[in-house]
Structure 1
Amino acid sequence: MDELKTTKHPVPGSPTEGPYHDPDAVIVTWDGPDDPQDPFNWPLRKKRWAIGLALFASFVSSTNGTIISVAHKVINEEFHVSDATFPNSYWLTTSWGMGGALFPLILFPVMEDFGVRPVVLGTYFFFICSLIPVGLAQNFATLIVVRFFSGGCVQLLSNAVASVVSNVFQGDRARSVPISLYVTTYLAATSTGPAVGSSILQFLSWRWIGYIELIWTAALFPIFIIGLPESRGSAILLARAKRLRREGKNAYTAEELDHTPLYQVVIKSVQRPLYMLYTESVVFVATLWAAFSLGTIYLFTQSVEQVYGELYGWDAVQAGYVQVAIVVGEILGCGLCVISNRWYYASAVRNTEAPGTPIPEARLYASIIGGFFGVTGGMFVYGWTSYPTIHWMAPTVGLAMVGFGTTAVVVSIANYLIDAYSMYAASALGAVGLAENTSIAFLPLAATAMYTNLGFQWASSLLAFVSLALVATPFVVLTWGKEIRSRSPFMKEAIIERRRESIAADNA
């Protein structure tokens, strides 16, 4: 680095000793707006490479959520676990979901200070370690404990993808497609898990699910070590500052000089999402809808085996394979989200609140289609074609429709919250993630009782009616979106910030 832009920074405060309080300290910043090391200035090929590797890591790890679900009967037999009165075998996924709910909320904001690359590599390594005891477990409790930690690692890796996207792409237009791919990758990996587990269980014992997952996960680790670049700008600047300090220069980044104490970071990470969940009506409803949609995908790991087993005499392996239909639907749902981006951008001509800027509520168009024709319609199809006289492809179409709708709903909600809350989007999405993983953990526990007591048709219909009620919420937001934003202090501040960015862009 031949040239480096630095700024004198007299640091206020009573202490006068130590490197952070030297009045001659300089702040390390980018070498102009076109600095090639700034991730926003990377070539498109490098940006795609970084996001592609992060997506690959997310896909590889996210299959872990459901891969072992198809082996619940043989695990129950070996460890003498009974599902007669309660689906105790699902505790493996409940533990996984709770790890996914708690780890990102507490750890990710702290880990972000180290940069994306160390977070991904470190979390991936611990994920590998959490897979080792699966095949070696001597009791059911061991599986529950290690699944808690693997679930936490998977969600941290998934969040890292979103971080990479925001680090290399600036502006909602550039981020729309990567965000859609991020959500779709996670959902598709989740729905692929039962099929992968079935392909192993068909020929080997359940322990080989753990062994083989460990082998392929560890074998791919060198690819991420060698190929994943650091995409967090503050981490790149920190590396510059450290290099300058080794050369004897008194250089620091702005984050180093104004560093927030660790306990305050953790408190804010936990406090703000919970505060927004209970005070922001939009966040509450969006969270409820996304949590229900994602919980439904995991509910299928329980209901599909029960439905197809009683109707067609299928075993757990065959029921695992049929869930590939959900993946097909999720990919189609991603296509809808990409196409619907043009509807969002076209809304800018109708925006009287911030002329020339797309209306945030326009992000919800795809969710209406996905929620009504996908999740709601798919549940009705899945339920009312569940008769032994009807071909198995009919309820399978319903599964694909639900996968289609779930992707459209979750992607639309993520994009809407990012646009509506701007700098507070991470906290809003944190609330959604907490509820989603809690739903993953507990909603499917009711699946067996629902489908046994209500029957296949009315159990699915109950879920369809809940989905139908949730589909009404976008119409409320679309109708009164301006009034809702005017009453939200977070949204008002976000609007002001977006206007500043727009003015700055026009001046540039």
Structure 2
Amino acid sequence: MQSFIQYRKFSLAVRKQVQEDREKAVFCLSPELHIPESLVRDHRRTSLSSSTTCPAENTAEGLERANSATSARTQYSKRHTVGHFLTGIHARDRTTNEGKGGIVFVVNWEGDDDPLNPRNWGVAYRVWVTLIVASIAFVVGAASSTDTGILTQAAAEFGVSEVVESMTTGLYLAGFGVGAVFAGPFSETFGRNAVYISTMVIFMMFIMAAALAPNIGAQLAFRFLAGAFGATPLTCAGGSISDMWPSLEKTFAFPMFAISAFGGPVLGPVIGSYIMNIGTWRWSEWIILIISAFVLGLVVFFQPETFPPLLLQWKAKHLRDETGDHRFRAEIEIMHISLWMRLKIALTRPLKFALEPIVVLMTLYMTVLYIVLFTFLDGYPHIFQKVYKTSQGLTNVIFTVPWVYKITKECFVKQSFVPEVRLWFAMLGAPAIPISLFWMGWTDYASISIWSPIMASVLFGYGLICIFMTAYMYLIDSYEIYAASALTFVTFTRYVTAGGMTVVGVPFYNNMGPHWTLTILGCISLLMVPIPYVFYKYGHIIRRRSQYAVSWN
């Protein structure tokens, strides 16, 4: 709905711009450009009674230039003249690889303050749109972990072990990794909204199928497919944030999205656990379906398109319709790249980032943290139900995720911006992960207050939010135009690896116990702590030697 209204706004804005700039185009022409006599005569008649912005319009010099322009016969049409003088239009010849056709009018924004540009929308409206995008991240994230809260009941119904049933989470995450590869090319071809709506509808279909699954095989297959289609809106959501918020404003805008994206997996087990009070385990999927339907309604009725190249493509189409000149083209239209070619690039370019130190280490770090996170969630029944005898529902509510964020605008004002500034909160959060794991692992006794592991959980959530929030912004700022490929590599590797490792979480706790399991996880995460500090100190050197990274300083 909003996209349709937005499309109409572009039409009205283009019509208004053409009408306003047409007179300017007539009267401000240089002598060497010629226009039809009738057009000059019409303009001369109106210019004497109204003011324009042309510097010489009401002077003898201006009239002389107009007369000079009409003195010779010309082959140029009125539409050609308008093409040269419309604000935000750059006239140039096609390059060799852009094919034949001579001159092309490249369509861009009218200026830095063009209200059609998503980055110039009002702050309140951009916050509203960001919250809608964040709701998408929340629901697909919640679906990833909701089954961890009902493992016992689902496994009993299908007659399988809890280890087998835990594969519903692992395969969902693996589907995330696969789906993320295709998200970018589709969103760059069809726009963000088309991807949001179409993939969320398919995602909901497979969530419903998982709720109706007659056996464990069907449930695992449907969960994998739900993950694959759920990854697309989640991946594109980060793109929408970048579409609307410039680097400085992204400092306070991105956490709104990141916290929701992270809060989904955390609250998923809560949904799964408490749903047992009103029905069978299948209601965990039904609730996700209901929430998804609500979010889909928000997207359909209130979410505008934010992808700038597509918006400029709309503008170019309206200019062609308004002027009758087919040479108005958005940059992405000049040299057409098919969807198949975009997919080919998307599938091959991320592989090149396997040699990028920044990408490799950040991928390793976030993969380990995701393994720790989902293994950590698997251990909550062992930690609280078996030790402190809490109920199944209360067990999962205990995992709360605090978010602590302070705007660091002063840092951007006082010094030149470099991507390493993004790592400040990661450096604060990194030590919190191993500390919280060691804390919980060795205070998990019935003789010690339950508030000890609860506070350890709070510290764990704080560390994860700090790291994930800043790591993504650091990669985006470090690679800019190649950020999508870098994030695709990170996302694919993280989810596929984490999906495989989550299956070992249940037997890990059963065989090792929560004390040693959490200790081992703490030791693994401890090895990752130096990564943000190393990049904060030497990141600028690494970026200079990179083929794809941006050297800001």
* TM-score after normalising by structure 1: 0.85
2:387: which partner in 1?
311
In the alignment, residue 358 of structure 2 is paired with which amino acid?
V
Instruction: Establish whether residue 70 from structure 1 lines up as the match of residue 145 from structure 2.
Output: no
2:175: which partner in 1?
99
Change (3 A) 1:14 1:65: closer
Task: Select the residue among 329, 347, 352 that pairs with 1:275.
Answer: 352
Contact 2:379 2:506 in 1 (8 A): yes
In the alignment, residue 300 of structure 2 is paired with which amino acid?
I
Q: Residues 155-202 of structure 1: CA distance to partner in whole angstroms, max 9, x if unpaired?
A: 2222222111111122x2111122222221111111011112222112
In the alignment, residue 29 of structure 1 is paired with which amino acid?
N
C-alpha separation between the residues in 1 aligned to 2:447 and 2:129? 50
In the alignment, residue 468 of structure 1 is paired with which amino acid?
L
Which structure has greater helix proportion? 1
Map of 1:346-365 to 2, 5 A cutoff?
348=415, 357-365=416-424
Task: Indicate the structure (1 or 2) with the bigger Cα radius of gyration.
Answer: 2
The secondary structure found in structure 1 opposite 2:230 is: helix
In the alignment, residue 252 of structure 1 is paired with which amino acid?
R
1:410: which partner in 2?
468
C-alpha separation between the residues in 1 aligned to 2:180 and 2:320? 32
Q: Residues 351-386 of structure 1: CA distance to partner in whole angstroms, max 9, x if unpaired?
A: xxxxxx2343232232222111x2111001110111
Identity of aligned residues (%): 23
In the alignment, residue 256 of structure 1 is paired with which amino acid?
E
* TM superposition shift of 1:312: 2.5
Task: Select the residue among 182, 206, 209 that pairs with 2:284.
Answer: 209
Q: Residues 426-473 of structure 1: CA distance to partner in whole angstroms, max 9, x if unpaired?
A: 222222212221243122222233323333222211111111111122
* TM superposition shift of 1:300: 2.4
Task: Select the residue among 231, 234, 241 that pairs with 1:165.
Answer: 241
Instruction: Establish whether residue 291 from structure 1 lines up as the match of residue 350 from structure 2.
Output: no
* TM superposition shift of 1:205: 0.9
Q: Residues 194-231 of structure 1: CA distance to partner in whole angstroms, max 9, x if unpaired?
A: 11222211221112222232233224433221111111
1:504: which partner in 2?
none
Contact 1:303 1:451 in 2 (8 A): yes
Change (3 A) 1:315 1:417: same
Change (3 A) 1:37 1:347: closer
Task: Select the residue among 294, 300, 308 that pairs with 1:225.
Answer: 300
1:300: which partner in 2?
376
C-alpha separation between the residues in 2 aligned to 1:195 and 1:180? 22
2:525: which partner in 1?
467
* TM superposition shift of 1:10: 4.5
Instruction: Establish whether residue 108 from structure 1 lines up as the match of residue 108 from structure 2.
Output: no
Contact 2:174 2:497 in 1 (8 A): no
In the alignment, residue 92 of structure 1 is paired with which amino acid?
T
The secondary structure found in structure 1 opposite 2:146 is: coil
> Structure 2: where are the runs of 5+ without partners?
1-13, 19-85
The secondary structure found in structure 2 opposite 1:259 is: coil
In the alignment, residue 254 of structure 1 is paired with which amino acid?
E
1:192: which partner in 2?
267
C-alpha separation between the residues in 1 aligned to 2:484 and 2:414? 24
Map of 1:77-156 to 2, 5 A cutoff?
77-83=156-162, 87-156=163-232
Contact 2:135 2:295 in 1 (8 A): no
The secondary structure found in structure 2 opposite 1:74 is: helix
Change (3 A) 1:11 1:364: closer
The secondary structure found in structure 1 opposite 2:115 is: coil
* TM superposition shift of 1:475: 3.0
Q: Residues 252-271 of structure 1: CA distance to partner in whole angstroms, max 9, x if unpaired?
A: 32211212233332232222
In the alignment, residue 426 of structure 2 is paired with which amino acid?
S
Instruction: Establish whether residue 345 from structure 1 lines up as the match of residue 422 from structure 2.
Output: no
* TM superposition shift of 1:7: 4.4
Provide the alpha-carbon RMSD of the alignment: 2.4
C-alpha separation between the residues in 2 aligned to 1:185 and 1:232? 21
Map of 1:438-453 to 2, 5 A cutoff?
438-453=496-511
In the alignment, residue 291 of structure 2 is paired with which amino acid?
W
* TM superposition shift of 1:319: 2.4
Greater shift in the superposed pair: 465-474 or 210-219: 210-219
Task: Select the residue among 241, 253, 265 that pairs with 2:342.
Answer: 265
* TM superposition shift of 1:115: 1.3
The secondary structure found in structure 1 opposite 2:379 is: helix
Change (3 A) 1:219 1:52: closer
In the alignment, residue 124 of structure 1 is paired with which amino acid?
M
* TM superposition shift of 1:246: 4.8
> Structure 1: where are the runs of 5+ without partners?
349-356, 500-508
Query: Aligned residue pairs: how many?
Result: 468
C-alpha separation between the residues in 2 aligned to 1:307 and 1:142? 31
* TM superposition shift of 1:347: 7.5
2:329: which partner in 1?
252
Task: Select the residue among 111, 114, 117 that pairs with 1:32.
Answer: 111
C-alpha separation between the residues in 1 aligned to 2:269 and 2:217? 22
In the alignment, residue 61 of structure 1 is paired with which amino acid?
V
C-alpha separation between the residues in 1 aligned to 2:470 and 2:295? 32
